[in-house]
């Protein structure tokens, strides 16, 4: 297909240059197919969003238990979980990046300060922003609600720590 297009372009230009550097070689085309295959196998939004959902829920219980490093860790990897979407959804990922940088910042600030009152206020408020993005992107039927217990019960949420304890 690519080769055909290439020949057509050259014909239109009135140039028939055999082996021209403008033509994509079969090997390059093959490589592109493999890259496309890898990209197609990478997660888009749905798979990492499940991780976002779980880490978001866990972070609350970490903060409540005074394990601020765990809360900070959850917030950090909640963001990183979305990295595959930089490649698979390059137009949509900036919406997530802006959300994390702007709307989510007050939650991160409260974690850094180890301030439970501020954390509770900002955490509750940001749930609306999560759901606003779902609505904007056509997923208004996915409504995040706070759980009564962590998504992952196999961690000690009550261990005392500071946000700064998370390795860089």
Summarize as ranges the residues that interact with ligand HEC (CB under 6 A). Answer: 44-46, 49-50, 52-53, 56, 95-96, 99, 130, 133-134, 137, 139, 142, 144
Task: Tell me whether residue 95 or residue 109 sits nearer to ligand HEC (CB atom).
Answer: 95
φ/ψ of residue 89, rounded to 5:
-135, 60
Task: Tell me whether residue 86 or residue 134 sits nearer to ligand HEC (CB atom).
Answer: 134
Task: Tell me whether residue 23 or residue 72 sits nearer to ligand HEC (CB atom).
Answer: 72
The minimum distance between CB 52 and ligand HEC, in angstroms, equals 5
The minimum distance between CB 110 and ligand HEC, in angstroms, equals 14
The minimum distance between CB 142 and ligand HEC, in angstroms, equals 5
Cβ partners under 8 Å of residue 28, min gap 6: none
Q: How far apart are CA 124 and CA 119, in angstroms?
A: 8
């Amino acid at each position: 297909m690519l080769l055909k297009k290439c020949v057509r372009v050259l014909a239109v230009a009135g140039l028939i240059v055999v082996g021209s550097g403008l033509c994509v070689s079969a090997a390059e085309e093959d490589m592109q197919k493999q890259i496309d295959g890898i990209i197609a196998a990478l997660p888009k939004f749905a798979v990492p969003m499940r991780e976002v959902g779980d880490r978001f829920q866990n972070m609350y219980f970490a903060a409540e238990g005074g394990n601020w490093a765990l809360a900070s860790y959850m917030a950090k990897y909640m963001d990183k979980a979305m990295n595959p979407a930089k490649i698979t959804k390059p137009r949509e990922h900036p919406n997530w990046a802006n959300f994390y940088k702007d709307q989510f910042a007050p939650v991160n600030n409260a974690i850094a300060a180890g301030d439970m009152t501020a954390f509770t206020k900002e955490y509750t408020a940001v749930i609306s922003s999560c759901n606003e993005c779902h609505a904007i992107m056509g997923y208004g039927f996915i409504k995040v609600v706070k759980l009564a217990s962590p998504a992952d019960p196999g961690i000690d949420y009550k261990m005392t720590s500071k946000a700064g304890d998370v390795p860089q």
